[in-house]
Structure 1
Amino acid sequence: MHFSLTPFELLRPGIWRAVAQPAGVNIGLVAGSTGALVVDTGSSPEQGEQIRDAAAAVAGVPVVGAVVTHAHYDHFFGLPAFDDLTTYGHESLIQALGTEAVAIDAALVDLEPDELRPPNRPLSLARMIDLGDRHVELVHFGRGHTAGDVVVIVPDAQVIFTGDLLEESAPPAMGPDCFLKEWPAALDGILGLVREDTLLVPGHGNPVDRVFAFTQRAQISAVYGQVEHLIGEGVKPDDALAVGDWPFDADTIAAVLPTAYAQLAAEGKVPRTRLRLL
């Protein structure tokens, strides 16, 4: 697999983003007067080294740490390149390294799971990082895209790196490890901080504004609400795509329906055949 990185582009003073291929992941860089923080680390240790070198060349100060927004390989697997620095991520990333999903993803990029590393400074809820004349806030607003989504907030610049809680280049990836019902609440945590001038950097795609974020939050909520409604109407999973009113394209909905039905079934909500009244 070929890994590449676009040059870092300046978003706001002391804040940049690059795009790591082949997964099209936004890599953030936040610099203060004494150090710089990398946001997400790419798909492999090799790509992590590439990101670290590029960040050091741009930041003008030493790279002092890296944060991973969640456990998916394209954001997480470059972390070993930063293992001698302070690295951050949600505490669930430690358990994620032992899962079958990580083993499968590691094989896809020709890695063994024991080549990967968890963050050495895990967090459960929040942490602040001092970069000199700038501080960065790391916050876990709750489960959503995964169990361990971490949002990176730069208050003085009104920039927020959202990870894959938001995506711009495609519909949000609502995979089997998402928490569909809780996802909108995690986004509410972000939206509570958003002002008119806030720049939101999603996990994939171009930076977005609060209107985009509010819209995508409503769409994700609508998926869960629509499945809940269809279950109440007795609609089985195989029929849901055809009869539902969906905010995303058919492929996206077809992929998330098994997860949505399974998560609602865990709450005791399953389609029931309605008897005809005589």
Structure 2
Amino acid sequence: MSKKFASQGDMTEKEISFVEVGEGLWAFTAEGDPNSGVIIGDESVMIVEAQATPRLAHKVIEKVRSVTDKPISHLVLTHYHAVRVLGASAYGAPEIIMSDAARSMVVERGQEDWDSEFQRFPRLFEGHESIPGLTYPTTTFSESMTVYLGKRRVDIMHLGRAHTAGDAVVHVPDQNVMFTGDIVEYHSACYCGDGHFADWGNTLDNIAWFDVDAIAPGRGDALIGKEMVNAAIENTRDFVESTYRPVARVAARGGSLKEAWDACRAECDPKFADYAIYEHCLPFNVARAYDEARGMDHPRIWTDKRDIEMWEQLQS
């Protein structure tokens, strides 16, 4: 490769924040690294997103133990990506929940995604030797399910395709707070390499319908207050549309992937170049947008080999 992926050169440890987004609800954030959520019930705790490794999961557990000694009974994984799920073993033996579609993607492409992300994210996979293997759910759902943590109701829903085909969101009605996974980001690029551009906006509309008071997004700071929530939803929409639009125009006239990359940069760099993981996401976003614009509904599987081939094509 003429140069490394941006994420391969990002070896600086990120500063962790642990912010209460509602009574007994917390967002674990780390300067654009993958976020986790914490939902404290009457007798036990639900974690949203496992982190990439047991090493990183223990950082979440350390923060949980700073606010409660209740056992961790449930782990919700909003989608299948390795950086979200491979730390699951650190939480003991909770009930692990995914959508049916997310589980099918673990089966179809979980190992390939692990290999791909391991190559791209060396810092996040420090301590990878302790990962026992792929993470599979113990419980799945199709459209929605409800978990009661004592009296506290937690609704887990698939509101549409966006970041992946199997995205789940977690809503806590008593505080009107939502954990959105990577469907919504804050001052962080959206990773669209396995996404569905045509559906993403409708899924954002479905989230906006809940008119929540706070969101713990997939990456970036916790969103507290309706004004911040709505601004982040619309900014995410702008990012997704600004990525797809120029690429689709190039694809429609039979242009190359490299031309699509240049057109996307021309539109997105002025608005998003300072966003977390922007340079990392961009080549994968362009490649997926190019495929979707040419009629490929089901995202192609990323492998460590395909990553390099795509990157070399864009660098040529």
Normalised by the size of structure 2, how large is the TM-score? Answer: 0.72
1:34-183 correspondence runs (5 A): 34-82=43-91, 84-91=93-100, 92-93=102-103, 95-96=105-106, 98-105=110-117, 109=125, 110-111=128-129, 115-175=133-193, 177-183=194-200
What is the CA deviation profile of residues 136-157 of structure 1, one whole-angstrom value per residue up to 9, with x for unaligned ones? 1111112211222111111121
> How far did residue 222 of structure 1 move?
3.8
1:243–1:3 Cα change, 3 Å: closer
Shift of 1:28: 1.0
Q: Distance in 1 between matches of 2:184 and 2:205?
A: 12
Cα pair distance change 1:168/1:7, threshold 3 Å: closer
2:287 to 253, 258, 264: 258
Q: What SS does the corresponding residue of 2:114 show, helix, strand or coil?
A: helix
Q: 1:115 to 1:2 in 2, by over 3 A?
A: farther
Root-mean-square deviation (CA, aligned residues, Å) is 3.0
Contact 2:165–2:196 (8 Å) recurs in 1: yes
Between Structure 1 and Structure 2, the one with more helix by share is 2
8 A contact 2:35–2:218 mirrored in 1: yes
Q: Unaligned regions of 5+ residues in structure 1, if any? A: 269-278
Of 18, 21, 25, the residue aligned with 2:28 is 18
Change (3 A) 1:99 1:222: same
C-alpha deviation, 1:5, in angstroms: 8.2
> Secondary structure of 1:246's partner?
helix
Deviation of residue 180 (structure 1)? Answer: 1.9
The equivalent of 1:223 in structure 2 is: 243
Is the 8 Å Cα contact of residues 20 and 42 (structure 1) preserved in structure 2?
A: no
Contact 1:106 1:112 in 2 (8 A): no
Whole-Å separation in 1 of the counterparts to 2:25 and 2:195:
29
What is the percentage of aligned positions where both structures have the same residue?
24
CA contact (8 A) 1:230 1:240 kept: yes
Higher RCO (C-alpha under 8 Å, 6+ residues apart): 2
- Measure, in 2, the Cα distance between the counterparts of 1:223 and 1:146: 16
CA deviation map 1:104-150 (0-9, x unaligned):
43575334875232121122221111012221111111221122211
Q: Output the CA distance in 2 between the equivalents of 1:229 and 1:7.
A: 40
Distance 1:61 1:76 in 2: 22
| Bigger radius of gyration | 1
> Does structure 2 retain, via aligned residues, the 8 Å contact 1:149–1:165?
yes
